[in-house]
Amino acid sequence: MKEKFPVLKNLSNVLKLFAYILLIIGIGYFILYQGIYEPQLPHHRFSSSDMMQIQLGIGISIISLTIIGFAELIKVILEIEKNTRK
C-alpha cells in the first residue's frame, strides 16, 4: 500500500538528523572545548567571552532538542492519522 504523506515523514527524518548533528556540536563545544581544552591553555583567564561561548553551546543544545521534539511531533501526528484511518 502506498504510504500517505511521504514528504512529512522525510522532513521529520531530515530534521532529526540535523538536530542530532547540532546536539553533538553544541555539547562538544561547551563541554569539550570550553570545559576541558581551553582552560588548559597557558595564560588562560576566564572572561565574559568564555561565558558567552558556554551559553552559545548550551543554546545550540537546547535548540537542537527542540527540533528533535518537533520532528517527533510530526511522526506522532502521522501515526495518529494512520490509526484514525483504520
Segment 1-11, tens digit of pLDDT: 577 888 999 99
Residue 15 lies in a domain: yes
The domain total for the chain is 1
Is it the case that residue 65 has pLDDT exceeding 90?
yes
What average pLDDT does the chain have? Answer: 86
For position 44, what pLDDT does the model report?
77
DSSP string, 16-74: HHHHHHHHHHHHIIIIIIIIIIGGGSTT----HHHHHHHHHHHHHHHHHHHHHHHHHHH
> How much is the pLDDT for 20?
95
**Rounded-to-integer distance, Cα 24 and Cα 5, Å:** 29
pLDDT value for 1 = 58
Establish if 1 belongs to a structural domain. Answer: no
Cβ contacts of 58 within 8 Å, gap of 6 or more:
26, 30
Domain that holds residue 15: 6-85
Name, of 23-27, 42-46, 68-72, the range with top average pLDDT. 68-72
Q: Is residue 57 part of a domain?
A: yes
> Is 53 part of any domain?
yes
d(CA 24, CA 61) in angstroms, rounded, equals 8
Domain presence at residue 25: yes
Name the band, by pLDDT with cuts 50, 70 and 90, for residue 32. confident
